[in-house]
Amino acid sequence: MSHSTIALRTGRRLPCLGLGTWKLTNDTAGAVEEALRIGYRMIDTAVDYGSQSGIGEGLRRSGAPRDDIFIVTKIEEDDVPLDAVRRDLDELGLDHADLTLIHRPPPGGAGEALWEGLILARESGLVRDIGVSNYTAGLVDELTVALGEAPVVNQVEWSPFGHSDHLQAHHQDRDIVLMAYSPLTRAERLGDAQLGQIAGRHGRTPAQVMIRWNLQRGTVPLPKANAARHIQENFAVFDFELSEDEMRRLDDMNEAWSALGSLAYQ
Ligand SMILES: NC(=O)c1ccc[n+]([C@@H]2O[C@H](COP(=O)([O-])OP(=O)(O)OC[C@H]3O[C@@H](n4cnc5c(N)ncnc54)[C@H](OP(=O)(O)O)[C@@H]3O)[C@@H](O)[C@H]2O)c1
């Protein structure tokens, strides 16, 4: 598998791997520039990550054509959608985002007003595609029924230690791409013995195995890395393959574990 792209229902394509940027605050611009140099083509951010202006600077410094890069932004549950989209674009120094998500469902609802706002932002040309994050299957359906349009992406916490076949099957049926956040378990489970065994067999690292597991499941991992060696390591995943047996073993590690406290979709 090469650094390929995945089709969105709307016809646009999404890189199969992206750079996460929560707390990517140590020379953000330099880290982003390095990631783009290596070949990353998607960057995930949000206003509370502290990385948006540095990402913009890194993009400009890299000289990469804007159309080659896929930028994911998010609006917060208490935001006025159009204002928030413009705020984020201002910080990034961009005129559009490729994908904008509702960061999490607002308390007690599916976020119909936020979704309506994102539809408007797309109609205004400020964002190309729209989706959600931290949504259950039920909330995705509620939103879809209310506005007549399903999100193209649901971004959720996802690793061998915490994932859901039910959610993935639900999204596959509706042509919704599942994006995996905290795919490296925030480095908390990298020392797992079984993971280490599989990694050792391939001469790879546990982080590379968890990224590869996502790629082979068709889910889109967003590993965050500030250290240059991590940025490089996490992209060096297109020249090996996990066997069916190894994939099954990784699937079976599921214990609904979460680095953030609990899996938002369960
Ligand atoms: N939608 C949401 O609600 C939501 C929530 C959480 C996260 N996210 C997104 O998903 C991204 C990734 O999730 P995350 O930041 O929570 O955690 P993560 O990507 O699972 O883990 C990041 C941690 O792993 C370390 N690391 C990276 N590559 C490594 C490697 N090859 N070997 C050893 N350690 C390595 C990083 O260190 P260094 O940084 O020091 O290199 C950092 O401490 C976020 O940055 C954000 O973009 C979205």
d(CA 62, CA 67): 13
Burial track 192-229 (b if 16+ CB lie within 10 A, e otherwise): beebeebbeeeebbbbbbbbbbbbbbebbbbbbbbeee
pLDDT at residue 154 tops 70: yes
Contact 140, 174 (CB under 8 A): yes
Pocket of ligand 1 contains residue 227 by CB under 6 Å: yes
**Average per-residue pLDDT in the chain?**
97
Give pLDDT tens digits for 67-76.
999 999 999 9
Q: Is-catalytic flag, 40? A: no
Pocket of ligand 1 contains residue 228 by CB under 6 Å: no
What are the residue boundaries of the structural domains of the chain, listed by start?
Answer: 15-187+219-238
Which residue is catalytic, options 40, 49, 135, 265?
A: 49
Distance linking the first and last C-alpha atoms of the chain: 31
What pLDDT, on a 0 to 100 scale, did the predictor assign at position 97? 98
What pLDDT, on a 0 to 100 scale, did the predictor assign at position 1? 64
CATH C-level class of 15-187+219-238: alpha beta
Tell me the pLDDT band of 3, cut-offs 50, 70 and 90: confident
Between 150 and 3, name the one with better pLDDT. Answer: 150
Q: Which residue has the tokens 């259950």?
A: 136
Give pLDDT tens digits for 100-134.
999 999 999 999 999 999 999 999 999 999 999 99
